[in-house]
């Protein structure tokens, strides 16, 4: 990428200062004489007070070359600018010149192809095919303006840009600054929900494909972490909570009847009468094993004469009943060791005879042993199953407030995860299954993640501790618990209407965070337990804007003194700064 300043209004800063001074003087602007100190004072006052119309008298023209047409498609959305782009109608494109994105590397693609082929080879094969087709069409007599239809967005192009100083300030505000979230926002990765400040370059993020609404996993190109003082946009609705920079792009639709979701800035969304956001995705596919392996267990046994090692061999268990049992265990189960007996126990309401029989049937499907029914205690029946393999498989998942869903679950297909979900709801959901309750914060987070996998969404709400009276009259304070509201159908909520507006401007002083993904540019984020799809920062056009800003500061340092980002960006390398594409 090459950016050059071709032309700038002579004495641009003096001209703008004279125009500003003329607004408050009875002299014509052309008769005003200003020294350097006066020019600095007038321009700083004009910029700080928002009197930016005086900057429209200074005009800058840039030449930008070696960029992709994908970049220029974003650029020409700035309407208060003039553009002259290299035309594919008249310029012969027989020379295969294209931009190779940062994510096209030597990683081998094996999932969707019969033969092993690297991403780079796959990409370059597509480029070669496109240009061979283009040249063949040209040779057959097809004009350039029609043959260009086969050329990709990766084509390099050149463009000339003219903007006045006021529009450049707006352009730098939108394009140089990162689009970020506040410090309270979390993002969903393969590690689970984490704060943005804790992400690293090895994380893989849940990302929504905007064309198919399938969830895909995306790598990170760059991590943004910066200080910010200024205006932020608050989105505070029943099911969405965001605090974002004004230029941040949300995944929105502006019509209830024609739900064409797309990325648009928060400040643009504030001007629309209706705004919808998206909270779910197409159910996530994955592995569909018929069986799940329970590892072998070696235990010490003894009697009055000797002590010896005994191994319970590994065994395969039908996946569906085992996942159902796993859900039941996470809801109402525990592991109890009594001497040489390793028991898995489930607790059920003594009055629910049908559920007791169903639980017994599921336990019999995953074990060769039959469960024992323990007499009711405080209105509950306990089913006890003596199974060492099952005990050792479930024991690491924690007890009560530390329970969690095991990591292997997230690789399974949504059709299997429904069994897990149903098992969890059997024990800890309300009757209508619109809310799930747990004392484990990690379990509440995992349930919200599970809902996304099966095509739904959820909201996590912390329930404050409650006190209760024990028989001796003392008040005992209970612990925190969590409710996960289950959204089966209301996954594209209306955030703004003519009568209800969830958007507002707030002042913010603190750190802001985001990442640049290698595809889709969408993230699954949450704030205060409310999850929604939203956008990420994008770097290619920012590289061009940064170079333009450097040139503007060299020519007009007073006007552009405070333009652009005041940030610290991490995760980039010297060889590939900020994940810039390779040419």
Decide if pLDDT at 568 tops 50.
no
Q: What is the pLDDT of residue 477?
A: 60
Q: What is the pLDDT of residue 576?
A: 39
Decide if pLDDT at 328 tops 50.
yes
Enumerate residues 6+ apart whose C-beta is below 8 A from 457. Answer: 279, 280, 448, 451, 487, 491, 531
Q: How far apart are CA 305 and CA 72, in angstroms?
A: 84
What average pLDDT does this structure show over 145-150?
A: 88
Decide if pLDDT at 567 tops 90.
no
Segment 95-110, tens digit of pLDDT: 778 877 665 666 666 4
Decide if pLDDT at 115 tops 70.
no
Segment 10-21, tens digit of pLDDT: 999 999 999 988
Q: What is the pLDDT of residue 435?
A: 94
The mean of the pLDDT values for the chain is 85
Range with lowest mean pLDDT among 75-84, 279-288, 360-369, 550-559: 75-84
Q: How far apart are CA 93 and CA 156, in angstroms?
A: 10
Q: What is the pLDDT of residue 550?
A: 87
What average pLDDT does this structure show over 419-431?
A: 92
Task: Identify the residue with better confidence: 228 or 449.
Answer: 449
Burial of 411 (0-12, 13-18, 19+ CB in 10 A): exposed
Enumerate residues 6+ apart whose C-beta is below 8 A from 208. Answer: 214, 215, 216, 251, 278, 281, 520, 522, 524, 533
Q: How far apart are CA 205 and CA 517, in angstroms?
A: 8
Range with lowest mean pLDDT among 137-146, 290-299, 300-309: 300-309
Segment 257-277, tens digit of pLDDT: 878 898 888 888 888 999 999
What average pLDDT does this structure show over 315-321?
A: 94
* Residue 566's pLDDT band (cuts 50, 70, 90): very low
Task: Identify the residue with better confidence: 545 or 37.
Answer: 37
Decide if pLDDT at 325 tops 90.
yes
Give 516's DSSP letter. E
Range with lowest mean pLDDT among 51-60, 118-127, 276-285: 118-127
Q: What is the pLDDT of residue 474?
A: 58
Percent of the chain at pLDDT above 70?
90
Q: What is the pLDDT of residue 572?
A: 40
Q: What is the pLDDT of residue 57?
A: 92
Tell me the three state secondary structure of residue 21: helix
Segment 193-226, tens digit of pLDDT: 999 989 998 999 999 998 899 999 999 877 888 8
Buried b (16+ CB within 10 A) or exposed e, 105-127: eeeeeeeeeeeeeeeeeebeeeb
Decide if pLDDT at 111 tops 50.
no
Q: How far apart are CA 25 and CA 431, in angstroms?
A: 76
Q: What is the pLDDT of residue 469?
A: 58
Task: Identify the residue with better confidence: 478 or 167.
Answer: 167
Q: What is the pLDDT of residue 540?
A: 64
Q: What is the pLDDT of residue 195?
A: 94
- Backbone φ/ψ region at 578: left (φ over 0), alpha (ψ -120 to 50), beta: left
Range with lowest mean pLDDT among 166-180, 401-415, 470-484: 470-484
* Residue 443's pLDDT band (cuts 50, 70, 90): very high
Q: What is the CA radius of gyration of the chain?
A: 31
Task: Specify which of 176-190, 469-483, 490-504 reaches the highest per-range mean pLDDT.
Answer: 490-504
With a threshold of 0.75, does the pTM exceed it? no
Range with lowest mean pLDDT among 49-58, 174-183, 188-197, 569-578: 569-578
Reference 371, options 405, 345, 409, 334; nearest CA is 345
Structure tokens at 486: 């289950």
Q: What is the pLDDT of residue 565?
A: 54
User: Which residues belong to the active site?
Assistant: 175
Decide if pLDDT at 38 tops 70.
yes
Give 27's DSSP letter. S
Q: CA-CA-CA-CA torsion for 294, 296, 302, 305, nearest 10 degrees?
A: 140
């Amino acid at each position: 990428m090459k950016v050059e300043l071709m032309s700038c209004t002579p004495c641009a800063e003096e001209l703008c200062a004279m125009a500003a001074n003329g607004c408050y003087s009875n002299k014509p602007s052309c008769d005003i004489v200003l020294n350097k100190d006066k020019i600095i004072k007038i321009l700083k006052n004009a910029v700080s007070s928002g009197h930016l119309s005086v900057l429209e008298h200074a005009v800058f023209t840039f030449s930008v070359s070696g960029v992709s047409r994908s970049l220029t498609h974003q650029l020409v959305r700035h309407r208060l600018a003039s553009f002259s782009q290299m035309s594919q109608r008249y310029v012969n494109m027989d020379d295969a010149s294209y931009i190779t994105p940062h994510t096209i590397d030597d990683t081998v693609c094996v999932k969707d192809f019969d033969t092993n082929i690297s991403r780079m080879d796959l990409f370059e094969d597509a480029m070669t095919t496109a240009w061979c087709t283009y040249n063949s069409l040209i040779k057959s007599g097809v004009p350039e303006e029609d043959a260009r239809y086969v050329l990709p967005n990766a084509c390099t192009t050149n463009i000339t840009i003219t903007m006045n100083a006021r529009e450049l300030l707006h352009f730098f505000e939108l394009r140089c600054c990162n689009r970020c979230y506040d410090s309270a926002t979390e993002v969903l990765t393969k590690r689970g929900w984490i704060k943005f400040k804790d992400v690293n370059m090895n994380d893989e993020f849940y990302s929504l494909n905007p064309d198919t609404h399938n969830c895909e996993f995306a790598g990170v190109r760059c991590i943004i972490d910066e200080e910010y003082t200024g205006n932020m946009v608050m989105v505070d609705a029943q099911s969405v909570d965001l605090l974002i920079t004004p230029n941040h792009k949300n995944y929105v639709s502006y019509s209830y009847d024609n739900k064409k979701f797309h990325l648009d800035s928060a400040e643009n969304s504030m001007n629309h009468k209706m705004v919808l956001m998206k909270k779910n995705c197409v159910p996530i596919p994955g592995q569909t094993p018929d069986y799940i392996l329970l590892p072998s267990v070696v235990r010490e046994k003894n009697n009055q004469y000797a002590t010896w090692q005994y191994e319970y061999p590994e065994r395969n268990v039908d996946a569906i009943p085992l996942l159902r049992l796993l859900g039941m265990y996470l809801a109402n189960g525990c592991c109890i060791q009594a001497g040489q007996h390793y028991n898995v126990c489930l607790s059920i309401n003594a009055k629910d005879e049908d559920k007791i029989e169903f639980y017994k049937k599921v336990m019999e499907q995953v074990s060769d042993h039959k469960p024992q029914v323990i007499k009711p205690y405080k209105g509950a029946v306990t089913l006890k199953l003596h199974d060492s393999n099952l005990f050792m498989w479930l024991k690491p998942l924690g007890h009560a407030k530390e329970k969690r869903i095991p990591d292997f679950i997230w690789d399974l297909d949504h059709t299997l995860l429904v069994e897990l979900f149903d098992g969890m709801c059997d024990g800890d959901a309300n009757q209508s299954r619109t809310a799930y309750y747990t004392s484990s914060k990690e379990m509440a987070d995992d349930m919200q993640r599970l809902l996304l996998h099966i095509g739904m969404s959820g909201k996590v709400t912390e329930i404050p501790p409650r006190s209760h009276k024990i028989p001796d009259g003392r008040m005992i304070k209970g612990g925190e618990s969590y409710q996960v509201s289950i959204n089966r159908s209301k996954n594209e909520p209306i955030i703004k209407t003519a009568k209800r507006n969830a958007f507002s401007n707030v002042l913010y002083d603190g750190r802001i965070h985001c990442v640049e993904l290698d595809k889709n540019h969408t993230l699954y984020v949450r704030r205060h337990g409310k999850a929604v799809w939203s956008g990420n920062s994008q770097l290619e056009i920012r590289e061009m804007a940064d170079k333009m800003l450097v040139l503007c500061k060299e020519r007009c340092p007073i006007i552009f003194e405070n333009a652009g980002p005041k940030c610290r960006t991490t995760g980039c390398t010297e060889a590939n700064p900020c994940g810039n594409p390779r040419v």
